[in-house]
Structure 1
């Protein structure tokens, strides 16, 4: 079982409740956004469950312009070293196989 969390206490509670992995984000009220490196570091220091980070620079749709893609690339560089979650951003694509291949090339495992 996986739990989506956006703070340290929620991660601790989830693991105590039996969760086997964490999907870490910020702003769950907005559908989840990229978490901070500090939040990731503290959570990883407190739990042993795997932590997967969401990469999503803003709320709303999943149609990103070039600058937003650059933001995501920088976030990935900072958060690399943990499992990364590519969240729902290909829901509207017409060429799912090509999108999936690009996502793998970027280093996402989920």
Structure 2
């Protein structure tokens, strides 16, 4: 499967965030204006957020009205809540890649 260069970019951003923070998940989103936001999951005893939730929250709190794309890099499977966040913000399919960047879905 050949990816759009902009989709490849957000997978790369998600991988970099995950590696930089040594996190279980990395995510990146692209909003309707082309701005990108990357994040990792938050796993505190008092707060648990997926990487997709953090990246989407960053975009929305910066004024984004919708998202064009969402990428998740994880060794596991995406949480249904991540797919729901992406869908609510207008994304038809969550891009899911393994830690090596290989697209899985």
Q: Point out which structure has higher relative CO (alpha carbons under 8 A, 6+ apart).
A: 2
Q: TM-score, normalised by structure 2?
A: 0.35
Q: Give the structure with the larger strand fraction.
A: 2
Q: Give the structure with the larger helix fraction.
A: 1
Q: Flag the structure with larger Rg.
A: 1
Q: TM-score, normalised by structure 1?
A: 0.34
